[in-house]
Structure 1
Amino acid sequence: MKGFVTAGTLALAFVPGLASAAEPVCLTQAEATSLVAYALPQAINGTAKRCSAVLPAGAFLRQHGSELATRYAGQKDKYWPQAKPAFIKTLGADGGDAANLTRSLPDDSLRQLADVFVEGLVSQRIALKSCDKLDLAIDLLSPLPPENTAGLIALTMEVASTAEPQVGKIALCKG
């Protein structure tokens, strides 16, 4: 169970908007995978910032976090077209003025908003007591290409959404 909780924590760290939503946000497996793949560099940077004070000098994030984030960032452009609508969903921007404002932003501005949002929220929300487990999880996932890491995190989100007790407010749509 401890491994499952660590995987759930990692998934929530990578998709913080889902964890803070008032109502579960429904993303398809493809949307979740694209959003996570896009957000990985900022989530890694946010995790490294939050955890740097409590991790030992030899920790993976302290030694290789920025290198991994840079490697994953090289493919962000590829994931943005599918990540964009998923990101808007996680903000709860289904309708109304906020949705229209978010959707009307120029693409570059919306990407900057997504990047700042993910990194900032991750760096604020991670419990310091989970940093060692997140460091290990990121280290274990680091050899994978971003699409495999994102796919594994999306799968973890799917499993976590049906767990008892519930792990965050996440849900993957059926179909």
Structure 2
Amino acid sequence: MHPFLRAAAFVAGMTPGFAMAAEPVCLTKKEATALIAYALPQAINGTAKRCAASLPADAFLRRQGPQLAARYAGQKDRYWPQARPAFLKTLGSEGSELSKMIRNLPDETVRQLADVFVEGFVSQRIAPKSCTKLDLAIDLLSPLPPENTAGLIALTLDVAGAADPKLGKVALCQD
């Protein structure tokens, strides 16, 4: 698979719901885009933390990663209303114990859980040998606003999913 497709699949895999559902989940492109846009700051921070030791001092993530994450974080409130139902959808059926528990939590607590999960999940799942490619992918995407970055990742997942349906437990369904 092309390095960009791998990087996009990785970014999608590091969003909360893409990793949590036991059964395959179908998200619309709109849902996936909102969830990815919301999770981008934590994904960038988690990637920067994991890759700090294996990237050179002049790497994008080491030089500008915190600023990019802060720029994207400034728009998180805008994405949360659409990201929340997508996040909850990825927890599995509404009848599952985990889903029931999280659905009943205050909104701010659900946001905090999503944030902590994404950053921790990303920092644990990245293979250090992928850091250079991820640094390049994030650098190339950095000029874009979060909705364009998230939209491009969702589009890439849609295309990659059609070519290789083994990308994970999330499928993009029709809007």
Q: Which runs of 5+ in 1 are unaligned?
A: none
Greater shift, 146-155 or 82-91, is seen at: 82-91
SS at match of 1:100: helix
TM, length-normalised to structure 2: 0.92
The CA distance in 2 between the partners of 1:55 and 1:156, in whole Å, is 25
Contact 1:157 1:170 in 2 (8 A): no
Two-structure CA RMSD over aligned residues (Å): 1.6
Contact 1:55–1:62 under 8 Å retained in 2: yes
Which moved further from structure 2: 23-32 or 162-171?
162-171
The CA distance in 2 between the partners of 1:124 and 1:144, in whole Å, is: 26
Q: Aligned equivalents of 1:164 and 1:95: distance in 2?
A: 31
CA contact (8 A) 2:54 2:131 kept: yes
Matches within 5 A, 1:24-173: 24-164=24-164, 166-173=166-173
8 Å Cα contact 1:10-1:137 kept in structure 2 = no
Deviations 1:93-144 (A, max 9, x none): 5323322211111111111001001111011111111111100000000000
Within 2, Cα distance between the matches of 1:129 and 1:45?
A: 18
Q: How far off its partner does 1:156 sit?
A: 1.4
Q: Percent identity?
A: 69
- 1:21 and 1:29 map into 2 onto residues whose CA distance is 17
Q: C-alpha distance in 2, partners of 1:84/1:56?
A: 36
2:163 alignment partner, SS class: coil
Displacement after TM superposition at 1:19 (Å)? 4.2
Aligned to 1:6: 7
Answer whether contact 1:60 1:135 (CA < 8 A) is retained: yes
TM (norm. structure 1) is 0.92
Number of equivalent positions: 174
